[in-house]
Amino acid sequence: MQSHLQKRSMGPAYLNAVNRLRIVKIQEVEEEGPTVKTFTFQDKLCGKANPGQFVMVWIPKVDEIPTSLSAITTNGLTSITIAKVGEATKALHQRKRDDILGIRGPYGNGFTLTKGKIMIVGGGTGLVPLKPLSEQLVKLSTELAFLLGAKTKDELLFLDRINQTLSKTKAEIVVTTEDGSHGLKGVTTDQAEQKLAKGKFDMIYSCGPEQMMHKMFLLAERYHTPLQVSLERIMRCAIGLCGSCVIGKLRVCKDGPVLTSEQLRMVKDEFGKFKRDFQGRKIAV
């Protein structure tokens, strides 16, 4: 299912608008956990994005980083949810309401919506693109199993909002934490394997640590179930030129960040095994 943005994506006016840096003002900052914050701003182009697409966020005088959208609304009110993991994200976490950011995008391919019996599997900040995805899927009257996990209770994201969203359809939510501080003790992939062994699903969507998504790929192949995952790589240009996000013959910024089972088979020698650092060297995932 394509958005109006995707249908217009080859037009020069659209490309100019998307690639132009827009200055936005932070309207709200919300603490989601010990190291995670959500920043909300107004942007018309982001308001028309598909779940799974990403934007480049410029922190003035610091750096520009890629991130998925955690909230997409038709009136342009948009959110990004960021974990504090490095210099740029630390600087972003210091930003307050009414501070400014630069935005480019949205870029890349988002999730393709599917009707039927659906499984969503997310871990940690991988839940960021899955939250707006679930909001779109409930409109299709699908049957959803949402499996979300984290290391500890404090790191679980969006649980209340996901519960509220999925209350509008036939859905099951399964929560796991590695330390057992909330929900079931363990990891989401174990729960996914149990469910796949019991019944057929029409689609699996997943985002989170790459080793988790790799395990979901192996499970999807074993149980002959189509899969879409949102992949994370270093992205500098976001328009397919610099090559920093290459995996196999694919460019994550252009061919992804959402990749299908067919695409993952093309890069199975790299997916779940290694990625490249800022100098282009291979490092273990």
Could you report the per-residue pLDDT of 150-196, keeping only the tens digit for each?
999 999 999 999 999 999 889 999 999 999 999 999 999 999 999 99
Same domain, 171 and 37: no
CB 114 within 8 A of CB 202: yes
List, for residues 205-249, the tens digit of each pLDDT value: 999 999 999 999 999 999 999 999 999 988 888 888 888 889 999
Backbone angles phi, psi at 37, to 5 degrees: -130, 150
The better pLDDT of the pair 277, 34 is held by 34
Q: What was the pLDDT predicted at 10? A: 56
Same domain, 274 and 138: yes
What DSSP state is assigned to residue 50? Answer: P
Is 278 part of any domain? yes
List, for residues 4-60, the tens digit of each pLDDT value: 444 445 577 877 888 999 999 999 999 999 999 999 999 999 999 999 999 999 999
CB 268 within 8 A of CB 262: no
Same domain, 139 and 53: no
Same domain, 101 and 122: no
- For the segment 113-125, the average pLDDT, to the nearest whole number, is 96
Same domain, 253 and 174: yes
E strand map for 54-190: 54-59, 63-68, 71-72, 77-83, 100-107, 117-123, 143-150, 171-177, 184-185
Final residue of a structural domain among 46, 78, 107: 107
Is 84 part of any domain? yes
Same domain, 170 and 50: no
Final residue of a structural domain among 80, 107, 134: 107
Same domain, 82 and 135: no
Q: How many domains does the chain have?
A: 2
Domain range for 218? 117-284
Residue 70's alpha-carbon distances to 39, 117, 196, 220, 236, in angstroms, are 9, 23, 27, 25, 21
List, for residues 44-74, the tens digit of each pLDDT value: 999 999 999 999 999 999 999 999 999 999 8
Q: What was the pLDDT predicted at 131? A: 97
57: β partners: 65, 103
pLDDT at 121 over 70: yes
Same domain, 88 and 141: no
Is 261 part of any domain? yes
Is 112 part of any domain? no
Same domain, 183 and 262: yes
Token pair of 91 as six digits: 């600087």
Tally of CB atoms within 10 A around 105: 23
Give the residue from 248, 204, 249, 247 showing the smallest Cα distance to 222: 204
Same domain, 79 and 167: no
Is 139 part of any domain? yes
- Lookup result for tokens 């955690």: 70
Rounded Cα distance between 84 and 163, Å, is 25
Q: What was the pLDDT predicted at 4? A: 42
Final residue of a structural domain among 54, 76, 107: 107
CATH of the domain at 204: 3.40.50.80
What is the β-pairing status of strands 143-150 and 117-123?
parallel
Q: What was the pLDDT predicted at 126? A: 95
Same domain, 123 and 213: yes
Per-residue pLDDT band for 3 (boundaries 50, 70, 90) equals very low
CATH of the domain at 35: 2.40.30.10
Same domain, 123 and 183: yes
- For the segment 109-135, the average pLDDT, to the nearest whole number, is 96
Rounded Cα distance between 78 and 69, Å, is 7
- Reported as type and span, the H/E element at residue 23 is strand 22-25
99: left (phi over 0), alpha (psi -120 to 50) or beta: beta
Is 136 part of any domain? yes
